[in-house]
Amino acid sequence: MNVEEEVERLKEEIQRLGKIQPDGSYKVTFGVLFNDDRCANIFEALVGTLRAAKKRKIVAYDGELLLQGVHDNVEITLKAPPPPAEATAASSAS
């Protein structure tokens, strides 16, 4: 599995385990992700996948490196997808 595929799978897992926010983003703690059996089977290096997603500005969290136990309560936010182009154009035309 390449990095792009892993980041896509990460997005799916955050949506599955996280709570949707009013702005359309999802929040989950690192501990919930790390301790989930399905995530453990999917991600060989969860921390590496999280760092790749953060670098691509898909997720946000405090700190650089998350460690199991120490950072279990760190919130990871899956950013809301941008609105479709036609919706943006329509709202700016009003």
pTM over 0.75: yes
pLDDT of residue 84: 76
Number of structural domains (the chain) is: 1
Which helix (H) or strand (E) is 77 found in, with range?
Answer: strand 75-78
> Rounded distance, CA 70 to CA 8, Å?
26
Q: Phi/psi at 29 (nearest 5 deg)?
A: -85, 155
Q: Is the dihedral of CA 12, 67, 52, 61 positive or negative?
A: positive
Average pLDDT for runs of 10 along the chain of length 94: 90 96 96 95 92 96 92 96 65 54
pLDDT of residue 83: 76
- Structural domain of residue 73, as residue ranges? 3-93
89: CATH: 1.10.10.1540
HSE toward the beta carbon, residue 32, CA cutoff 13 A: 16
pLDDT of residue 81: 82
